[in-house]
Structure 1
């Protein structure tokens, strides 16, 4: 398992946190996603054989949020 931290932009409430968390957890290969509103970060544990950080970023962006480079 691998881990990555994504800096999420545009989250303003707990509903946003929930939407980002669900988007990440629905991604193939993700075993856990912890999203924090106060830091604007998502800590994701995933199977590198099934997904990549690029795909995780795309899942967040598809949910309507930006990921800082």
Structure 2
């Protein structure tokens, strides 16, 4: 498993977390998603050793209506 962290701006509530989780959850190879509006973090884990596809994650967050940047 590989873990990748992102900073997300614009999240304020549980609905925001759910919207991001729903969009990112559609990406193949993602096995776990943790979203926190309180600290503005998104953490994704992949099935294999390769990290998440940044372009796909950033696009999914954008589709949910937020902006993100990779932290790790």
Alignment TM-score > 0.5, same fold: yes
Distance in 2 (CA, whole Å) between partners of 1:31 and 1:8 is 19
Q: Runs of 4 or more off by more than 2 Å in structure 1?
A: none
TM-score, normalization: structure 1? Answer: 0.85
1:56 and 2:18 are equivalent in the alignment:
no
Unaligned runs of 5+ in 2: none
Matched length: 68
Equivalent residue number for residue 11 of structure 2 = 11
What is the TM-score when the length of structure 2 is the normalising length? 0.82
CA RMSD of aligned residues (A): 1.7
**1:6-40 CA distance string (max 9 Å, x none):** 11111111100110111111111110100011110
> In structure 2, what is the equivalent of residue 35 of structure 1?
35
* Residues 20 and 64 in structure 2, CA contact (< 8 A), matched pair in contact too: yes
For structure 1, list consecutive stretches of 5 or more residues without a partner in the other structure: none
